């Protein structure tokens, strides 16, 4: 009996490229993306970070295949089985870690690559152990909107606990910090993700209660290759803004030497020089976290006090938008809700968060992959906020590679 192959899900443009790649791999449906920067006269087609992401997905899966046009403006992707760091399927060295190098032309932060890995990891056959190295690893926040590794670790990874994916078995190691290099390209950091929480199906999420009040703020001030006094100056400026809000504030200071990278003439030079601040506010309600990131631009010209104040104001703005999940974490939570057990989950989001192009595009993409439409309703009348509750029905896309009791 012949089996009919699923039809390609067709998209145009480069937006949401990483998330569409993840949804294709999780659902097993091939995708066809055309007109990728086709109107760009200088850099048409896939960007270096997108090509690197394709290679990374190929390394942690078995049976994936992709075809890229000569100009790079069209790609077809056939997903395979998510194997993680299973021996013989991409793992190197001791058969425990998949090592992937990012090119020097990469302009996106390392969390651009960590986010798809963490969405694929719960459905993997083996543990998802990946080490990201190379001259293109940027651990700080970027102008493109990528989170720093600190906000990713403390503000996003804990949300996996809400789906029955134990974060106690998830570890994110920052072996070498780095900021964006000249012109925002490259950083030469080293980051290792060890994701050992594989599940059969994510649990149904009900996070539609009041977000509560802020009870503590934690953060990390980091400086790479510059004076360590920049950390103290950023922390002092941020506390001046946040102390009237809450008294329980602790911001750690992290200093690292800038990594050495080889040059074309055979020498070495320091890369990834800079400083920045990451803040995470924890609410009295379980699972409600708000994060903010700010980093000094690669061109320089900004004092640490400005970075501290801007990051603190950004955190206050994120809190004022309401909801139980920030705009940076909402795509992850909504995607896991759509992949979960066949029950209706609920999530409370701020009205401004739902109205963003990213969330609306995610709803359309999930619909294209066969997921259910979302249900939207206002919160209770006695609630003073302007939040909206999203109802998402899971489709039961579970872990087919590994049976877990």
Residue 260 CB neighbour total at 10 angstroms: 12
DSSP 8-state class, residue 153: I
* CA-based R_g, the chain, Å: 21
Specify burial of residue 182 (Cβ count, 10 A radius: 0-12, 13-18, 19+): exposed
The pLDDT value given to residue 1: 40
Give the pTM: 0.93
Give 109's strand partners: none
Give the bridge partners for 99, in sequence order. Answer: 131
Three-class secondary structure of residue 378 per DSSP: strand
Q: Which residue has the tokens 């489709």?
A: 395
Encoded tokens for 174: 């920052």
For residues 326, 328, 334, 335, the Cα torsion angle rounded to the nearest 10 degrees is -160
Instruction: Write down the pLDDT at residue 2.
Output: 44
Sign of CA dihedral 19, 21, 26, 32: positive
Give the pLDDT score at 372: 87
pLDDT at position 88: 53
Q: What is the dihedral of CA 344, 113, 368, 207, to 10 degrees?
A: 20
Under 8 Å between Cβ of 259 and 272:
yes
Going by their DSSP bridges, the two strands 268-270 and 128-133 should be labelled as unpaired
Enumerate residue ranges in the chain where pLDDT < 50.
1-2, 91, 93-94, 403-405
Sequence-distant (≥ 6) Cβ neighbours of residue 37 within 8 angstroms = 14, 43, 44, 45, 46, 47, 73
Positive or negative: CA dihedral 313, 315, 319, 325: positive
H or E element in which residue 149 lies: helix 149-151
Quote the pLDDT of residue 5.
64
Q: Where exactly does CATH 3.30.360.20 map onto the chain?
A: 208-321
pLDDT in tens, 147-159: 999 999 999 999 9
**Quick check: 149 and 174 in contact, CB under 8 A?**
yes
Residues 325 and 79: their CA atoms lie apart, in Å, by 30
> pLDDT, tens digit, for every residue of 107-128?
899 999 999 999 999 999 889 9
Beta bridge partners of 206: 346
Per-residue model confidence (pLDDT) at position 150: 95
CATH number given to 208-321 = 3.30.360.20
Which tokens in the block code for residue 20? 């569409």
Q: Which two tokens stand for residue 228?
A: 């360590």
Question: Which residues, including other chains, have CB under 8 Å from residue 392's CB and lie 6 or more apart?
Answer: 334, 337, 338, 344, 345, 346, 347, 372, 374, 375
């Amino acid at each position: 009996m012949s089996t009919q192959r699923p039809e390609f899900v067709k998209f145009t443009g480069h937006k949401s490229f990483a998330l569409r790649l993840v949804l294709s791999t999780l659902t097993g449906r091939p995708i066809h993306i055309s007109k990728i920067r086709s109107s760009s006269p200088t850099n048409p087609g896939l960007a270096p970070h997108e090509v690197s992401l394709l290679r990374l997905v190929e390394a942690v899966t078995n049976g994936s295949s992709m075809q890229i046009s000569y100009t790079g403006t069209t790609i077809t992707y056939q997903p395979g089985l998510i194997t993680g760091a299973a021996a013989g399927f991409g793992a190197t060295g001791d058969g425990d870690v998949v090592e992937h190098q990012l090119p020097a032309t990469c302009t996106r932060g390392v969390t651009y690559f960590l986010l798809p890995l963490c969405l694929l990891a719960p459905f993997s056959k083996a543990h998802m152990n990946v080490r990201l190295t190379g001259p293109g690893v940027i651990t700080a926040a970027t102008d493109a909107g990528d989170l720093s590794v600190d906000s990713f670790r403390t503000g996003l990874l804990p949300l996996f606990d809400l789906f029955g994916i134990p974060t106690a078995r998830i570890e994110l190691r920052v072996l070498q910090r780095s900021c964006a290099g000249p012109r925002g390209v490259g950083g030469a950091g080293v980051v290792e993700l060890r994701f050992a929480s594989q599940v059969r199906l994510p649990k149904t999420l009900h996070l539609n209660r009041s977000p509560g009040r802020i009870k503590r703020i934690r953060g990390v001030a980091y400086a790479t290759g510059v004076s360590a006094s920049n950390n103290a100056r950023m922390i002092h400026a941020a506390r001046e803004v946040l102390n009237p809000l809450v008294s329980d504030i602790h911001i750690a200071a992290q200093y690292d030497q800038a990594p050495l990278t080889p040059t074309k003439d055979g020498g070495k030079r320091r890369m990834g020089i800079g400083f920045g601040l990451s803040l995470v506010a924890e609410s009295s309600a379980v699972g409600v976290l708000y994060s903010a990131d700010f980093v000094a631009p690669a061109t320089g010209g900004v004092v640490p006090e400005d970075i501290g104040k801007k990051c603190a104001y950004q955190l206050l703005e994120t809190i004022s938008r309401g909801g139980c999940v920030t705009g940076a974490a909402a795509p992850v939570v909504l995607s896991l809700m759509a992949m979960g057990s066949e029950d209706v989950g609920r999530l409370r989001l701020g009205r401004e968060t739902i109205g963003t192009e990213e969330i609306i595009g995610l709803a359309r993409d999930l619909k294209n992959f066969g997921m259910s439409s979302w249900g939207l309703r206002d919160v209770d009348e006695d609630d003073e906020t302007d939040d909206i509750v999203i109802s998402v029905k899971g489709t039961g896309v579970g872990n087919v590679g590994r049976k877990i009791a």
